[in-house]
Amino acid sequence: MKRLLTTEEILETIKMVQKDNLDIRTITMGISLRDCGSSDHLEACRKIYEKITTKANKLVKTGDDIAREYGIPIVNKRISVTPIALMAEASSVDHYIEYARALDRAAEAVGVNFIGGFSALVHKGFTAGDEILIKSIPESISATERVCSSINVATSRSGINMDAINLCSRMIKKTAQLTASRDSIGCAKIVIFANVPEDNPFMAGAFHGIGEPDCVINIGVSGPGVVKSAIKKNGNSDLGTLSETIKKIAFKITRMGELVGRTTANRLGVPFGIVDLSLAPTPAVGDSVAEILEEMGLERCGASGSTAALALLNDAVKKGGAMASSYVGGLSGAFIPVSEDAGMIASVLDGALSLEKLEAMTAVCSVGLDMVAVPGDTPVETIAAIIADEAAIGVFNNKTTAVRIIPAAGKDLGDQVEFGGLLGKAPIMDVNRFSAAKFVERGGRIPAPIQSLRN
């Protein structure tokens, strides 16, 4: 017999939405483009546009209808597609900007704010298409509004591709320069991954994995404000009790995501994929992962104890959310982007949070060094070394890590970049000025750790 919601549960959900910024952060439709390849790149682009606009023509309306019916904000509707490098290399062109423009036109036509999948998987080496795509990213990102890009450069089974990291660092620096007039915003749409998930609904790292169905709906839930409120009500309990509190609220948040995801998939006539449990902050006051850690008892995010507090939070979110959904995937945990989290921004400005401490915290969170702005004159070798450090954390701990770094052209310490909306603003963070150039220039591949031998 189906259990009806109690009045108390209904009122609790309303309060979460109205006072604690609870929302569905994104409905992301994954679309396979594996049947769109052609030796004629213009024909391939035509197929891409037609498939996306056919599959996703009702996505935004359906999301809006469900938001009104359930009274739950659904902030973003997005699309992820097959990594373009996999299908574009069937053509003979030496630049993929037309593919990016086709994606951008399709995203605009169906009304989504971002489309992910201008991507390549190069953790063990390059094909010709992979290399063309990476080299095409700066011009493609600067010439489009909605296209997002991701590159996977490492896995726990294959090791770390330093040649790919070096190429990506040069690509990031060029993107920063091409979008300098907009505070190098292009770099905010590029993510470099280790152990990338193929069903992640969050941008800028979303793409539609090759093991996915032709079309699928993935949901990204959020609720830092709800978790913070629950911790505040919990008073001065011990850490075990605090973990239980977070688990219970994560369960409730995830159940809401499961309901929206399955309803959306049913109305669009496509399979339901996964719920991503990630706590994704925004620049809005009270919607901050950093403030959750401070509510736990830290004076400022970045203080000693921050990594331990984040580990507790991440684990409790996963445990509570996993019980609330049949299919959990994506990244699932706590995001700690600097520019998108008001508490993180405040911690950097107060001197509590350094790049090195942030890196340590990424060992226990969902992603990695996310939306970090650094001086525009940061050498490409330093950017490569930062990416390599983060990839090492992911590879040797068998988890997903990523870097979304913004070497803001013309900016230095004391300045900030401002993007607006969910991307927010970020103070320029200091980087270690000692060089790693000779190390990263060795190139090649850092071998996988011994624990990769699990067959």
Q: Given the structure tokens 């998930």, which residue do they identify?
A: 197
Domain boundaries, the chain: 25-194, 217-440
Output the CA–CA distances (angstroms, integers) from residue 327 to 67, 216, 271, 272, in the order listed. Answer: 22, 13, 12, 9
Q: Write the pLDDT tens digit of every residue in 221-268.
A: 887 888 888 888 888 889 999 999 999 888 888 888 888 899 999 999
Where on the phi/psi map is residue 184: left (φ > 0), alpha (ψ -120 to 50), or beta?
left
Which tokens sit at 364?
């226990």
Which tokens sit at 179?
């979008």
pLDDT confidence tier of residue 19, bands split at 50, 70 and 90: low
Where on the phi/psi map is residue 137: left (φ > 0), alpha (ψ -120 to 50), or beta?
alpha
Q: Write the pLDDT tens digit of every residue in 32-70.
A: 999 998 999 999 999 999 999 999 999 999 999 998 888
Question: Which CATH number does the domain 217-440 belong to among 3.20.20.70, 3.40.50.2000, 3.40.50.620, 3.20.70.20?
Answer: 3.20.70.20
Which tokens sit at 296?
């736990």
Pick from 77, 62, 94: which is nearest to 23 by CA?
77
Residues 329-339, mean pLDDT to the nearest whole number: 84
Pick from 314, 443, 442, 393: which is nearest to 156 by CA?
393
DSSP string across 188-249? GGEEEEES--TT--STTT----TTS-SEEEEEEEE-HHHHHHHHHHH-S--HHHHHHHHHHH
Pick from 43, 55, 30, 179: which is nearest to 99 by CA?
43
What percent of the chain stands above pLDDT 70? 95
Integer Cα distance of 383 and 437 in angstroms: 10
Q: Write the pLDDT tens digit of every residue in 179-229.
A: 999 999 999 999 999 999 999 999 989 999 999 999 999 999 887 888 888
Q: Write the pLDDT tens digit of every residue in 85-144.
A: 999 999 989 999 999 999 999 999 999 999 999 999 999 999 999 999 999 999 999 999
Q: Write the pLDDT tens digit of every residue in 387-410.
A: 999 999 999 999 999 999 999 999
pLDDT at 249: 87
Integer Cα distance of 89 and 37 in angstroms: 8
The fold for domain 25-194 equals Anaerobic Ribonucleotide-triphosphate Reductase Large Chain (3.20.70)
Pick from 247, 351, 239: which is nearest to 297 by CA?
239
CB 347 within 8 A of CB 301: yes
Q: Note whether 25-194 and 217-440 share their fold.
A: yes
